[in-house]
Structure 1
Amino acid sequence: MLTKEWIKHKAHEVIYSAGTRDPFKICEATGIPYYYDDLGNNIMAYHTIVCRVPSIVLSTRNTEFENRYSCGHELGHHFCRHKGNAENLSRSNRRFVNFGEEYEANKFMVDMMLDGINAHDFETKEQLMKYCHIPLWAERYIDWNLLIE
């Protein structure tokens, strides 16, 4: 199990290296191709590795907002070096979990999207989350105490 500190540091390292918090630009900067496909009503995205080449597939049924955080979640699987092939984010598993690979991928997504953000620039938590493309279901992954210091 990866620590919260390791995940936060890794997210910062990736953003610093890519020069952006945008998950799509991070894919481009790190050579991880992303594709769109009709994944049905439930699956939003998945990360896979074929012949040692990682890629992310996003659902054509997602909104732009959903694709942005889905891509960030799948980047979390990649950079946390999860061994499974074809982990997926689905509409039915978007909830808080406090351990395991889904926790790590969600924590990475949130840390990546919040890196370098000053919480004092926003009047409400909801404004900050919307600006950073963080869905409401992922709020519990935010360490508000560290963010507000």
Structure 2
Amino acid sequence: MTYYIKQKVEKLIKKFKTNNPYDIADFLNINVLEWNLHKDILGFYKYEKKTKWIVLNSNSNEDEQYFTCCHELGHSVLHERFNTPHLRRDTMFSINKFEREANMFAVELILPDHVWNEYTNHYSCLNDLERATGIPQSLLLAKLNQME
């Protein structure tokens, strides 16, 4: 499963020559907007009448919005016609298959292997890597385990 997601991300990056989720969403005609959501809700993905939406919490900081956009883009690519529940702050630890896959997609988009290797040469611990990337440590640890 992880390899499948990694391949999907690599193809998107190669096709659009970027790993920026906002740019990729634009290329894929996915509407990204900010909305005043509850503080515990980071965002969500919605598919309605052949239109795709990524909604980000306007109250979240820039790093949270960026990661959330990557995560919701993952839903759009991997679970295109499935409306996902709101991404909550505690969803990073979810056992839900779709949430885990969207998290893996987000990590691969932000840190493809070559970028991961560059970062791990500069940062010696997960705390520093989390601060530099905005990716929660639990997901960084999953990426680390996958690389071994």
TM-score by length of 2: 0.84
Q: What secondary structure is seen at the aligned counterpart in 1 of 2:53?
A: strand
The alpha-carbon distance between structure 1 residues 91 and 123, as it changes in their structure 2 partners (threshold 3 A), is closer
TM-score by length of 1: 0.84
Deviation, structure 1 residue 63 = 0.5
For residues 142 and 81 of structure 2, what CA distance do their matches in structure 1 show?
Answer: 22
**What are the ranges of 5 or more consecutive residues in structure 1 without an aligned counterpart?**
none
Q: What secondary structure is seen at the aligned counterpart in 1 of 2:44?
A: strand
Aligned length: 144
* Alignment-derived partner of residue 59 in structure 2: 61
Indicate whether 1:106 and 2:103 are aligned.
Answer: yes
* Alignment-derived partner of residue 87 in structure 1: 85
The amino acid of 2:14's aligned partner reads Y
The alpha-carbon distance between structure 1 residues 133 and 21, as it changes in their structure 2 partners (threshold 3 A), is farther
* Alignment-derived partner of residue 7 in structure 2: 9
% of aligned pairs identical? 24
Deviation, structure 1 residue 61 = 1.2
For residues 85 and 142 of structure 2, what CA distance do their matches in structure 1 show?
Answer: 19
**Matching residue within 39, 44, 47 for 1:49:** 47
The amino acid of 1:21's aligned partner reads N
Deviation, structure 1 residue 82 = 4.8
The alpha-carbon distance between structure 1 residues 42 and 129, as it changes in their structure 2 partners (threshold 3 A), is closer
Contact kept in structure 1, 2:47 and 2:80, CA below 8 Å: no
Q: What secondary structure is seen at the aligned counterpart in 1 of 2:82?
A: coil
The alpha-carbon distance between structure 1 residues 8 and 145, as it changes in their structure 2 partners (threshold 3 A), is closer
Indicate whether 1:36 and 2:34 are aligned.
Answer: yes
Deviations 1:66-95 (A, max 9, x none): 000000100111111254214321123222
* Alignment-derived partner of residue 20 in structure 1: 18
* Alignment-derived partner of residue 131 in structure 1: 132
Instruction: Tell which has more relative contact order, 1 or 2 (C-alpha 8 A, sep 6+).
Output: 1
The alpha-carbon distance between structure 1 residues 108 and 136, as it changes in their structure 2 partners (threshold 3 A), is same
The amino acid of 1:63's aligned partner reads N
Deviation, structure 1 residue 144 = 4.4
Q: What secondary structure is seen at the aligned counterpart in 2 of 1:138?
A: helix
